[in-house]
Homo-oligomer: A and B are copies of this chain.
Amino acid sequence: MQIVNLEQKLNLFTETWTPKIIGELNGQHVKLAKLQGEFVWHSHQNEDELFYVLKGTLIIKLKDKTVTLKPGEMYIIPKGIEHKPIAHEEVHVLLFEPAAIKHTGDVTHELTKEKLDWI
């Protein structure tokens, strides 16, 4: 049980598309990620996923629309929904999702990390 300061945690890493775990509760992980560029289209079969933008503008392409999120805005991607995050400039996000989730979902890609680190 420690105080987690998001800004301090964000200063601990520079990699993009590599979520870092900062908390766990009720079988869910709280993560921070830095995003830049385009991620792969993917979906999570069993897990809903929450994006909360801390910095920058996050674009999430969905099959039927495109969502643009600014700092202070959040969006929940229901399980099974294909999505493709895009960050034209660096974006910092807080993620909430089940501890079991794989960040590229059903897709295995060079961006896929098998095991995420705690920071």
Contacts and interface: CB of A to CB of B under 8 A. Distances in A.
Chain A contact surface mostly: strand
Interface string A59-81: 00010000101101111111001
A72 B26 CA distance: 22
Q: What number of copies of this chain does the assembly contain?
A: 2
A25 B5 CA distance: 24
Nearest to A2: B75
B47 A26 contact: yes
Interface in A1-19: 1-7
Interface of A: 1-7, 22-26, 28, 30, 47-50, 62, 67, 69-70, 72-78, 81, 96-98
